[in-house]
Amino acid sequence: MKFLSPLLCSFALVACLAGNAFSAVEYTLHKSANPTSDEQDAYKRITTVMDSAVKMYNTYSNLSKFINVYYAPGVPTAEASSNGDLRFGENRSYMVVPTAMHEMAHTMGVGTTSEYAATCVDGVFRNDKVQAKLREMDGPNAELHCDRQHIWPYGLNQASEAKSEQDLINHVILVETIYQQLFKVAFYAQGRIKSLGDTKNCMGITSSNALELMDCADSASFVKIFSVGDNPVTYYIQLGSRVVDIPNESTAAGVQASTYGYNGGAHQRYVFEGADVNTPNALFLKNYKSGHYLQAVGTTVVQNPKGSGDEFIWQLIEDTKDSSVTKDSSDIKDSSKTSIPLVRKVEPPTLIKKARFDAMGRMFTPARRIPRNIRLY
């Protein structure tokens, strides 16, 4: 859908709008080696709006996504896909924050996935929790409508829909709720993942974003784990703003694991299988795409066919300081069972409230907050 009324948004990029430290919506703008003057101008505009849009998502949600952004003059307006690709065409009127946020919603699966298509029935989004969230914002009679690619209200299907910063905030909150409901994404645990191999070290992320086994006392070894889906349940392991990743989605044995921005791929998710050893929370980590298992090799982690050695066994050492997690008595199955249990009770994430800006970048006193497959334009 075309944005009929271009809204030239440029949010102030200041420290007070920094997002949740554990949110992980990131992007890379891919540029030509020798850009033309047209490309230089486009890159500058796209960077401005994407910086602002990403900060909005990271401030008001706990979503994770790595987005590859391109300037593609052949695109009539803008387009995005659920694999994380986002393209701006040459028309500068679409290089605005609402457009960027609208397209980012498509990278989150809104209007681009079979899960979305199955939930949008007869023009209404058929999910009670999503509808309840909208009613918190707009009152008891509000209803989220949809078509094959779009939602409204707060879909930002036209730039003119963004009449205030609150409209953009509501968009982010609604997209996060939709994402959680469509893909059943939830916080699972946090702490360390320790190898039971020779080193007894933990997975960690280096200053150069490499995945490395390091001292478990190192703050760089702190992980957050999120569950995805329900049949089967898989997990992704977040280190800072990146996740444990198999480069190039390789299914080959012996490939060294690394870290990368989360894009929802099967190569970034793992099946937790309980290990029959006398260690609590011991498990094997099976890559959901390759079927191989993570193995500790020196200071590195590689994927290989499952072996019998301790270097294939990992221990989840939970950080119990997080009061938002209430342990269920069935959280960890007996070690003789085949998999780690998939039930964990969590409270909804608390949004970080920051200084607010209107659509033209002007700071104002906040008003009361009202309680895969390409998508073209």
Secondary structure (3-state) at 39: helix
Instruction: Judge if the upstream peptide bond of residue 348 is cis by omega within 30 degrees of 0.
Output: no
Phi-psi region of 286 (alpha: psi -120 to 50; beta: other; left: phi over 0): beta
CA dihedral 94, 70, 155, 1 (to 10 degrees): 60
What does the alpha-carbon distance between residue 313 and residue 307 come to, in Å, rounded to a whole number? 9
Pairing relation of β-strands 64-71 and 24-30? Answer: parallel
pTM, to two decimals: 0.69
Instruction: Indicate the CATH number of 186-346 among 1.10.3470.10, 1.10.8.10, 1.20.1070.10, 2.80.10.50.
Output: 2.80.10.50
- Mean per-residue pLDDT for 111-115? 94
Domain range summary for the chain, segments of one domain joined by +? 15-183, 186-346
**What is residue 374's predicted lDDT score, i.e. its pLDDT?**
40
- pLDDT, tens only, 257-313: 999 988 888 999 999 999 999 999 999 999 999 999 999 999 999 999 999 999 999
CA dist., res. 61 & res. 172, Å (int): 7
What φ, ψ does residue 237 adopt, rounded to 5°? -110, 115
Give the integer Cα–Cα distance in Å for 26 and 9.
20
Q: Give the amino acid at 296.
A: A
**Alpha carbon distance, N-terminus to C-terminus of the chain:** 5
Q: 170-204 pLDDT, tens per residue? A: 999 999 999 999 998 888 999 999 999 999 999 99
* Strand partners of residue 301: 296
Helix residue ranges per DSSP H, 162-243: 165-183
